[in-house]
Amino acid sequence: MWPGSQGARQCSAKALYAGSSPALAFCRSVGTVDNQDLKSCGLLPVRVRIPPPAHFMANISRKDIKEDFFKAWTPEMSYVLGYILADGCIIKRSGRKRSYVLNLTSKDKDLLLQVRKVLCPDCSILKKYSSSKTMCYQLQICSEVFYEDLIKLGIVPRKTYNLKGFRCPNKYFAHFVRGFFDGDGTVYVYKVNGTSQIKAGFTSGNFEFITEFNRNLCESLGISKKSIHLQKKTGKMDNYNICFYIDDCEKLAKLMYSDNPSIFLDRKRKVFQNWEFTKRRGYQKKNYPSKIGWHLNKNIAGG
């Protein structure tokens, strides 16, 4: 019989079956003998599961989770906290081996890649679809240490309803703002009477949080508090919005990007960068609040 033929493989299988299990495991690992050969010789029942070779199991290691990440304030940690408040959550699953989960979701895979790098470089980023069939990306990290540290920082399960008393040191507040903005912020350029305008805003489902955030942010920018608008959505949770225009947008951009940050969503930053080169003819600042569309929303907290 020629080496490698089915007959030779069956003979090898019989010899190995009578011999030591390490030899069988080695041949199976290099492809010389497989389970089908053992079945054809009548030596292996169909439903018997032979464990993988020892060298294969040795290559399975624990993921490299940076479990000290949330124990001390840093620019990166502050950014990720802001992003978690916008597009993340922590979950405790009962009856599961890995019960404690940090979940982050984004339409921008590049952003999750940046966050993954500082939290857990080995973790996978998966695709998922929302109820509206919109595709996004998800990063899940199972860590009880992360879960407990985030609770100590004020981030709790079902944070939209339960978030209270969250505080960020002034030294790192700009990074926190940028993280929250990359998750639940928006910025775009439009025109009014042929003149270019820029508008940026933040959204939250938690009124207490957005009120405190509005006060702290406007103090950092040296401007008056913004009006908080209630935006009702049929069949969905109500949202609260604050908006910034023109000069205040430029101050916001300076706060978030002036120190050359390591993590940010590039497409939003580019809107601010492009605005710097936008020509605006005959513009004179006027003290009127919101532009087109805000008459549809209810102003519930004046600035």
Pairing mode, if any, of strands 195-204 and 185-192? Answer: antiparallel
Buried b (16+ CB within 10 A) or exposed e, 179-208: bbbbbbbebeeeeeeeeebbbbbbbbbbee
189: pLDDT strictly greater than 50 = yes
Whole-structure pTM value: 0.72
Question: Whose CA is closest to 189, among 238, 246, 263?
Answer: 246
Mean of pLDDT values over 250-257? 96
* Confidence (pLDDT) at 10: 47
* Confidence (pLDDT) at 120: 92
Least confident of 52-61, 87-96, 131-140: 52-61
Question: Whose CA is closest to 53, among 12, 23, 32?
Answer: 23
Those residues whose C-beta lies under 8 Å from the C-beta of residue 98, and which sit 6 or more positions away, are 142
Residue 197 bridge partners (DSSP): 190
94: pLDDT strictly greater than 60 = yes
* Confidence (pLDDT) at 134: 83
DSSP character for 255? H
Q: What angle do CA 296, 86, 103 make, to 5 degrees?
A: 140
d(CA 159, CA 178): 19
Mean of pLDDT values over 81-109? 86
* Confidence (pLDDT) at 9: 47
Phi/psi of residue 241, nearest 5 degrees = -125, 145
Question: Whose CA is closest to 226, among 200, 250, 257?
Answer: 200
Q: How many CB atoms lie within 10 A of CB 170?
A: 10
Mean of pLDDT values over 263-274? 95
Least confident of 73-87, 148-162, 213-227: 148-162
pLDDT range class, residue 99, cuts 50, 70, 90: confident
Counting every residue written for the chain, the total comes to 303
149: pLDDT strictly greater than 80 = yes
Question: Whose CA is closest to 226, among 251, 258, 192?
Answer: 251
Of 272 and 156, the one with more pLDDT? 272
Of 297 and 134, the one with more pLDDT? 134
The tens digit of pLDDT for each residue in 275-291 reads 988 866 555 555 545 44
The tens digit of pLDDT for each residue in 11-31 reads 444 444 444 455 445 444 445
d(CA 291, CA 289): 7
What token pair was written down for 74? 């840093």
* Confidence (pLDDT) at 229: 93
Helix count and strand count (H, E) for the chain: 12, 9
CB 14 within 8 A of CB 44: no
What token pair was written down for 229? 């608008």
DSSP strand E in 164-213: where? 185-192, 195-204
Domains and CATH numbers, the chain: 7-58 (no CATH), 75-159 (3.10.28.10), 183-281+294-301 (3.10.28.10)
96: pLDDT strictly greater than 70 = no
% of the chain surpassing 90 pLDDT: 47
Those residues whose C-beta lies under 8 Å from the C-beta of residue 194, and which sit 6 or more positions away, are none
* Confidence (pLDDT) at 296: 40
* Confidence (pLDDT) at 36: 56
pLDDT range class, residue 303, cuts 50, 70, 90: very low
Mean of pLDDT values over 181-201? 93
* Confidence (pLDDT) at 60: 35
Least confident of 49-53, 138-142, 144-148, 204-208: 49-53
241: pLDDT strictly greater than 90 = yes
What token pair was written down for 176? 């926190």
